[in-house]
């Protein structure tokens, strides 16, 4: 809800005049006051501290805590659940400087409940009056230290007003009091006359400020009236009606009798009091009582007749309506309540509260689980018939109690009818069956329907039978739920939650907690949210669960089903962190992960029913908390575990402690002595670095090594390893930092950078004794646009400036290394490093000792003993969740990547603990074919060892994430148990061989698949390390049998090696993107004759490094099927012997071919083969996307291709894909095929099994293919939060972007047209983005490189269209482009071809030319690129 002029004006005065503003949020989607206050808080006029309270929270306690404020303001939209909480606190608050600004829409009933407890009540009809009264109320409360209630109307957007300047408000409040004319000194009494004088004094000061009249009553109309009409409501009686005078009330309290009588002239015979009150619970309305009381006390003669009336919708009132009211009053008895305007019964019904869209994440689960029997007891749909009270927990609990009592009556009636001898055997059986299944949600409904039909058919006259038919709606067992917010957690008693917990009724309560983890400390620290879960568990008979749907969907399902089954009260706490409805789901996911993994929101279940059965009632479901707890217990119990089986160990351990300690001290003393000797007369140098990718780290360590060789005493460490206090003690410090994201510091330098910024902000200078120099690494081309140029080397520049600001002295000017220089950052570094040695006085030192050679992947491989390293030892090390850095390079060969959860990396660093390390496991599965048994094992591994999900990759295999170190071995053993493995799924070897999935060409696919398996097996590493480490298979006779790698050798390959087998016309494997490709050629008999062989494809690129580029493979020629395996081997051997082993960024086969020349490369391969390739044979590709839906193969078997967005197999609301595929795997007799586009084919379904498979597909919505052509053709890599290389979101963001782009497509009639869109979080190209018609490659969070013009069937690379774009720019670019495509495309023309023909982008003819003419063509050229 946006703020109206009156709300904005009142909020502004409250904000500028007060020390503290307490705002109660509205039940609607957004609060009008919150919107206005947020706008004020972001302005330069920063005054009050604002506290927002959840809807329904007790504001009185918060106001009392701030009672010492000079002026305290409270703002709220009138609602009984908000204002009724204040009543208990008003006696205390009435003596404080507090202004209650209460906005109303049309009915004053809710706001007027406060007037009896407060000394001053002002009422405003218009926005201008609301502004002026807000000033008056603030002045009155401030000067008199008293509470003031200001009631005003929200009003309309069209109202105008003049506001007082901000700088005049404070002087107005502090100005001396002004006494009204004729008044004495302030009376010490509290009667209404004295209070009126106090009001008049404040009003005089306000009039002097605003230059507008302010009076308690505004009277207009006839001068000698017979009728006076008092009004309290939003009505403007600007009529000239003979004999009628109008009095608009602006001051409701104090309202002395004389003030009222002054408005009633002697000629008056009748008084009508109209009040805009529709839900007043007492007989007499407040203004009517004031008027009647004043007239009775005055004993007027004659005494006017006083009528009470209800003021309706003033906008519909005319002067004739008023005249008719006056005539009616003359004929009606005084006790008759009159009405002017549409009466309450004709007003529109109360609107149902808005339900935020994010809450559907839980309500959809309820609707799905309890379809047909779900009952939301406080559903907003009830508001229209029951009023606003229908959403309260008290109302819902009352409904539940009533229904449960009626159901008990139903059960008694069934039992009574069972005892009736006249009941037939069939009916008796139905009654007995229903009684046995009355608590079963499904059976009770089925049997209940049969029972009701039978009773109607037999037409029994017994009271029990009639009772059953009357209560037939209760025959099905319902799942009753009350849904509320975390506002109930602030006051368990007032919220009604206590009554539900203590009720012992079979009712379930779902409480949604929406406080984001990152803002948990920004709420009022004195308002403690009660731990509802702990409170409920203390009752002992309540089921309690704490859940988070964005963390563990399966746990939410389990908790909700447990709650439904539990016979008694259940409380399910549901975490759903968001601030507004515009909060993206991705942000909710990140906040949830932070909360759950930090332990702020633990996942658990408490089931008292288990305790009664002698089982453990408490289940801790937070994997991360469980793992941390387990590690702690493991460490604590280590010694006791040792001493139990061997008591003598304890004595030995304890007895040797003293000797060990002495020995350790001796060694430490000797080491310190040696260091002291080395450091004598050697200038100290501290080298600190911040590095994400490792380049800055290597440079810093090299600098430190060179310093030692020059006789310096050097230390090297990360920036975050040193505090500011320790930094201040250093003499000479060199900083080496790269850049992350948009000019940010790398992860291991951010804490120190933040600390330095904080000190600079406070103006401190703690580093006056420090001398420093900074070298920064960046890429000037990474941010090509002029407005983004400041991001280049921003971290280094900022650090250099900040150190100087803190008093440090620069001993060498800032050095900058640019990736775009001839030697990259080394160009700038070679100029900067000599200056360092000169400044330190060691530039003339002759270095004779050879500088240690940096350790590279090649060193690690050759020293690994054929991929063993120290992996086995690292797995046994329980002190860390990580492996040694060198071992993490080797585990890639075993199909394992070490990762950490980047969503919570900063949080864990702030907590002083290591990153949340886990591992990704990738399965080797040639051709992507697996059996149902293998699928079920993958599903089980994901739940038992991973994060509950698994992913279909672009290499046609499975990938697990979130596997912690102590689960690695058991997970890999489970994979091998179903005849799969992970060997060579990653690393510098041949990776998983992929094959086109063409289900209708069953025979051809089978032949291609068998060929792929032979290639994969032939190129497997032969080391036994995999079996030793993971499968516990020991070497024969110790070291008697040595490993050997006949193909790879001890160095293995320079880089990864990928092979694909394509079956035209579908190029779903993107054969040209692979190092080696085999394009299947069919002879005239439909048999596989052989393959056209391609070589030199590859996707990986490094941002800003033009020596790297994507490349499509070149066709070498044709080979037979029998020759294919040998061809794959010999191409690999040429790469092994000629690939670049110095620079891994230029080590792929594509660079080897470009360096050797295609002809020379081909000649070398043919020399090793001993034969020449035959000329390539003709073939045709027409697409590289999957064919979704059902198809029938040549063998009569059926195949269904499912759409699995970005390959993620998981359960989520309304998409229980993981559960559905598990059910299919249990009954399926064929195979599963994974596609290279991350989708899934259920293959080889026999005709007789079709109904079963189709039923399961429909049940779990796996048969839903009603997606746009854009979405069906999209693909994304994993990226955040697990991939360590990711620079931006991908898998989690692409669906959100497609939601917006497909709307553009639909607007232009392109919903069903396929456009290949791909996204990756970094430039390494896992989702093959450089072949997409539209592609986005991550550069920084929320920032992408945009590419256009890829070939629809993967035959042509795209080209960079914009180097840096954000979402608004993406949509702005695509909207006119897609519209033009819809209008101007040729028949059958694809989007990638169109953007080239239309002149948006130039075609890419080869990998080397990928950068040529980048940035768009002609009028579409990027200005930054052109410059």
Strand-pairing partners, residue 732, are 771
| Cα dihedral across residues 993, 996, 1000, 1003: positive or negative | negative
- Please say if 1283 is a catalytic residue: yes
Examine residue 1065 and say whether the peptide bond preceding it is cis (omega within 30 degrees of 0): yes
The first and second tokens of residue 1080, run together, are: 């299947």
Whole-angstrom Cα distance, residue 482 to residue 394? Answer: 10
Rounded (10°) CA dihedral 388, 391, 397, 401: 70
> Helix or strand or coil: residue 76?
strand
Which entry of 930, 1119, 1283, 1305 is annotated as an active-site residue? 1283
Is-contact 1227 1252, C-beta < 8 A? yes
CA Rg, the chain, in Å?
39
Residue whose C-alpha is closest to residue 1207's, from 1243, 1239, 1242: 1239
Whole-angstrom Cα distance, residue 306 to residue 270? Answer: 6
- Please say if 991 is a catalytic residue: yes
Examine residue 1281 and say whether the peptide bond preceding it is cis (omega within 30 degrees of 0): yes
Which entry of 593, 1322, 1356, 1359 is annotated as an active-site residue? 1322
- Please say if 922 is a catalytic residue: yes
- Please say if 930 is a catalytic residue: no
Whole-angstrom Cα distance, residue 426 to residue 412? Answer: 20
- Please say if 1202 is a catalytic residue: no
Exposure of 245 in the CB half-sphere (CA atoms within 13 A): 22
Is-contact 1247 1196, C-beta < 8 A? yes
- Please say if 1119 is a catalytic residue: no
> Helix or strand or coil: residue 273?
strand
Exposure of 472 in the CB half-sphere (CA atoms within 13 A): 15
Q: Which residues contact 618 (CB under 8 A, 6 or more apart)?
A: 604, 605, 606
Which entry of 797, 1326, 1328, 1339 is annotated as an active-site residue? 1326
Q: In sequence order, what DSSP letters do the residues of 1265-1305 get, joined into one string?
A: ----HHHHTEEE---TTT-TT-SS--TTTHHHHHHHHHHHH
The first and second tokens of residue 566, run together, are: 């539990």
Which entry of 922, 1197, 1215, 1362 is annotated as an active-site residue? 922
Whole-angstrom Cα distance, residue 366 to residue 360? Answer: 9
Q: Rounded to 5 degrees, what angle do the CA atoms 1365, 1368, 1371 make?
A: 90
Whole-angstrom Cα distance, residue 1158 to residue 1140? Answer: 16
Which entry of 253, 1056, 1208, 1218 is annotated as an active-site residue? 1056
Helical residues (DSSP H) of 581-656, grouped into ranges: 585-597, 608-612, 623-643, 647-655
| Alpha carbon distances (Å) from 384 to 56, 349, 352, 353, 697 | 20, 6, 6, 10, 66
The first and second tokens of residue 1271, run together, are: 């979405």
Which entry of 438, 991, 1136, 1197 is annotated as an active-site residue? 991
Whole-angstrom Cα distance, residue 750 to residue 753? Answer: 5
Length of the chain measured in residues: 1427
Is-contact 214 136, C-beta < 8 A? yes
Exposure of 271 in the CB half-sphere (CA atoms within 13 A): 28
* Chain CA centroid to CA 168, Å: 44
Is-contact 1011 954, C-beta < 8 A? no
Examine residue 254 and say whether the peptide bond preceding it is cis (omega within 30 degrees of 0): yes
Whole-angstrom Cα distance, residue 1271 to residue 1370? Answer: 16
Which entry of 12, 590, 1058, 1111 is annotated as an active-site residue? 1058
Examine residue 1063 and say whether the peptide bond preceding it is cis (omega within 30 degrees of 0): no
Whole-angstrom Cα distance, residue 571 to residue 501? Answer: 8
Whole-angstrom Cα distance, residue 1174 to residue 589? Answer: 55
Measured distance between the N- and C-terminal CA atoms of the chain, rounded to whole angstroms: 46
Which entry of 930, 1119, 1202, 1277 is annotated as an active-site residue? 1277
Name the residues annotated as catalytic.
922, 991, 1056, 1058, 1277, 1283, 1322, 1326
């Amino acid at each position: 809800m946006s703020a109206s002029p009156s709300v904005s004006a009142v909020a502004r005065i409250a904000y500028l005049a007060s020390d503290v503003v307490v705002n109660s949020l509205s039940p609607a989607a957004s609060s009008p006051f919150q919107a206005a206050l947020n706008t004020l808080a972001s302005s330069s006029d920063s005054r009050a501290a604002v506290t927002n309270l959840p809807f329904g929270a007790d504001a009185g306690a918060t106001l009392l805590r701030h009672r010492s404020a000079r002026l305290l303001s409270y703002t709220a939209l009138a609602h009984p659940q908000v204002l009724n909480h204040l009543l208990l606190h008003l006696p205390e608050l009435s003596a404080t400087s507090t202004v209650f600004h209460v906005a109303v829409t049309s009915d004053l009933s809710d706001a007027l409940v406060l007037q009896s407890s407060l000394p001053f009540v002002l009422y405003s009809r218009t926005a201008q009056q609301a502004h002026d009264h807000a000033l008056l109320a603030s002045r009155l409360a401030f000067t008199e230290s008293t509470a003031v209630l200001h009631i005003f109307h929200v009003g309309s957007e069209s109202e105008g007003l003049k506001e007082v300047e901000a700088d005049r408000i404070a002087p107005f409040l502090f100005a001396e009091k002004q006494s009204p004319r004729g008044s004495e000194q302030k009376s010490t009494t509290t009667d209404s006359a004295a209070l009126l004088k106090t009001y008049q004094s404040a009003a005089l000061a306000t009039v002097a400020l605003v230059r507008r009249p302010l009076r308690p009553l505004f009277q207009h109309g006839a001068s000698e009236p017979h009728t006076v009409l008092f009004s309290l409501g939003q009505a403007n009686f600007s009529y000239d009606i003979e004999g009628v005078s109008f009095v608009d009330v602006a001051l409701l309290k104090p309202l002395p009798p004389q003030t009222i009588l002054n408005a009633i002239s002697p000629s008056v015979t009748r008084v009508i009091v109209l009040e805009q009150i529709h839900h007043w619970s007492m007989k007499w309305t407040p203004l009517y009582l004031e008027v009647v009381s004043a007239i009775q006390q005055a004993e007027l003669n004659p005494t006017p007749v006083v009528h009470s009336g209800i003021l309706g919708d003033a906008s519909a009132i005319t002067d004739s309506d008023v005249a008719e009211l006056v005539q009616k009053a003359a004929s009606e008895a005084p006790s008759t309540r009159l009405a002017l305007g549409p009466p309450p019964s004709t007003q529109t019904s109360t609107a149902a509260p808005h339900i935020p869209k994010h809450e559907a994440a839980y309500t959809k689960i309820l609707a799905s689980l309890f379809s047909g029997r779900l009952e939301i007891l406080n559903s907003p749909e009830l508001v229209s018939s029951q009023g606003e009270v229908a959403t309260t927990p008290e109302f819902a609990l009352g409904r539940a109690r009533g229904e449960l009592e009626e159901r008990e009556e139903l059960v008694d009636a069934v039992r009574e009818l069972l005892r009736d001898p006249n009941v037939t055997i069939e009916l008796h059986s139905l009654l007995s069956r229903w009684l046995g299944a009355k608590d079963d949600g499904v059976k009770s409904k089925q049997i209940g329907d049969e029972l009701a039909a039978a009773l109607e058919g037999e037409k029994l006259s017994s009271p029990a039978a009639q009772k059953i038919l009357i209560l037939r709606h209760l025959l099905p067992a319902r799942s009753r739920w009350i849904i509320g917010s975390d506002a109930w957690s602030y006051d368990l008693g007032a919220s009604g939650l206590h009554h539900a917990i203590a009720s012992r009724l079979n009712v379930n309560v779902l409480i949604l907690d929406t406080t984001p983890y990152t803002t948990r400390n920004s709420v009022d620290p004195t308002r403690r949210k009660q731990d509802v879960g702990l409170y409920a568990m203390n009752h002992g008979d309540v089921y309690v669960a704490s859940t988070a749907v964005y963390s563990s969907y399966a746990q939410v399902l389990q908790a909700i089903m447990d709650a439904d089954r539990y016979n008694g009260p259940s409380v399910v706490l549901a975490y759903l962190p968001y601030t507004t409805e515009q909060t993206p789901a991705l942000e909710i996911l990140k906040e949830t992960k932070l909360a759950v993994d930090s332990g702020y929101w633990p996942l658990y279940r408490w089931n008292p029913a288990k305790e009664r059965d002698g089982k453990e009632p408490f289940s801790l479901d937070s994997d991360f908390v469980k793992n941390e707890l387990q590690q702690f217990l493991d460490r604590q119990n280590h010694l006791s575990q040792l001493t139990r089986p061997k008591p003598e160990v304890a004595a030995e351990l304890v007895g040797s402690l003293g000797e060990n300690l002495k020995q350790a001290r001796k060694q430490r003393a000797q080491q310190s002595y040696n260091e002291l000797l080395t450091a004598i007369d050697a200038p100290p140098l501290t080298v600190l670095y911040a590095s994400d990718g490792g380049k800055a780290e290597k440079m810093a360590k090299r600098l430190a090594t060179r310093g030692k060789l020059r006789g310096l005493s050097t230390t090297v460490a990360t920036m975050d390893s040193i505090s500011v206090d320790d930094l201040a003690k250093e003499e000479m410090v060199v900083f080496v930092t790269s850049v992350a994201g948009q000019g940010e510091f790398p992860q291991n330098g951010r804490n120190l950078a933040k600390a330095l910024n904080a000190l600079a902000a406070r103006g401190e200078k703690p580093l006056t004794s420090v001398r420093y120099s900074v070298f920064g690494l960046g890429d000037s081309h990474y941010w090509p646009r002029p407005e983004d140029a400041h991001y280049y080397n921003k971290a280094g520049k900022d650090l250099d400036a900040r150190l100087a600001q803190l008093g440090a002295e620069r001993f060498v000017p800032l050095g900058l290394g640019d990736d775009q220089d001839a030697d990259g950052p080394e160009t700038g570094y070679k100029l900067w490093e000599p200056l360092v040695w000169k400044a330190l006085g060691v530039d003339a030192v002759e270095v004779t000792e050879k500088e240690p050679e940096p350790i590279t992947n090649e060193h690690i491989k050759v020293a690994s003993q054929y991929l063993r390293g120290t992996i086995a030892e690292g797995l046994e090390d329980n002190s860390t969740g990580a492996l040694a850095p060198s071992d993490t390079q080797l585990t890639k060969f075993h199909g394992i990547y070490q990762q950490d959860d980047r969503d919570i990396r900063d949080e864990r660093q702030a907590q002083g603990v290591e990153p949340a390390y886990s591992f990704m496991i990738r399965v080797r599965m040639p051709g992507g074919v697996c059996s149902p048994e293998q699928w079920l094992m993958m599903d089980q591994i994901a739940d038992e060892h991973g994060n509950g999900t698994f992913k279909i990759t672009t290499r046609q295999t499975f990938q697990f994430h979130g596997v912690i170190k102590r689960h690695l071995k058991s997970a890999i053993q489970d994979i091998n148990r179903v005849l799969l493995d992970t060997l060579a799924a990653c690393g510098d070897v041949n990776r998983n061989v992929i094959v086109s999935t063409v289900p209708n060409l069953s025979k051809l696919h089978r032949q291609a698949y068998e060929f792929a398996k032979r290639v994969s097996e032939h190129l497997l590493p032969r080391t036994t390390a995999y079996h030793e480490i993971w499968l516990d298979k020991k070497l024969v006779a110790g070291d008697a049998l040595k490993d050997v790698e006949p193909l790879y050798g001890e160095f293995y390959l320079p880089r990864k090696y990928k092979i694909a087998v394509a079956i035209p016309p579908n190029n779903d494997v993107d054969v040209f993107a692979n190092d080696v490709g085999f394009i299947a050629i069919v002879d005239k008999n439909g048999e596989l004759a052989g393959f056209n062989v391609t070589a030199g494809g590859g996707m990986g690129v490094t941002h800003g490094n033009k020596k790297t580029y994507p490349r499509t493979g070149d066709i070498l020629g044709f080979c037979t099927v029998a020759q294919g395996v040998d061809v794959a081997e010999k191409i690999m051997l040429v790469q092994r012997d000629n690939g670049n082993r110095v620079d891994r960024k230029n080590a792929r086969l594509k660079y080897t071919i470009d360096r050797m020349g295609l002809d020379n490369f081909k000649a070398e391969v043919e020399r090793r083969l001993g034969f020449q390739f035959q000329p390539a044979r003709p073939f045709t590709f027409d697409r590289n996307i999957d064919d979704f839906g059902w198809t029938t193969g040549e063998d009569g078997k059926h195949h269904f291709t499912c759409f699995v967005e970005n390959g993620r197999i998981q359960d989520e609301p309304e998409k229980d894909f993981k559960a559905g595929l598990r059910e299919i795997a249990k009954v399926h007799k064929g195979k599963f095929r994974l596609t290279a586009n991350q989708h899934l084919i259920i293959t080889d379904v026999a005709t007789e099994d079709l109904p079963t498979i189709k039923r399961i597909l429909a049940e779990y919505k796996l048969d839903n293919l009603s997606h746009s052509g854009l979405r069906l053709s999209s693909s994304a890599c994993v990226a955040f939060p697990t991939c360590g290389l990711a620079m931006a979101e991908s898998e989690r963001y692409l669906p959100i972007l497609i939601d917006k782009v497909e709307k553009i497509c639909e607007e232009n009639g392109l919903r069903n047209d396929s456009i290949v869109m791909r996204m990756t979080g970094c430039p390494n190209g896992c989702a093959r983005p450089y072949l997409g018609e539209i592609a986005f490659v991550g550069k920084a969070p929320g920032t992408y490189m945009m590419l256009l013009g890829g070939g629809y069937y993967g035959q042509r690379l795209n080209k960079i269209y914009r180097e840096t774009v954000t979402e608004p720019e993406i949509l702005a670019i695509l909207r006119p482009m897609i519209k033009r495509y819809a209008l101007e495309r040729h028949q059958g023309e694809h989007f990638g071809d169109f953007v080239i023909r239309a002149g948006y982008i130039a075609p890419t003819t080869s990998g080397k030319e990928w950068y040529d003419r980048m940035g768009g063509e002609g009028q579409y050229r990027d200005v930054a690129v052109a410059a």
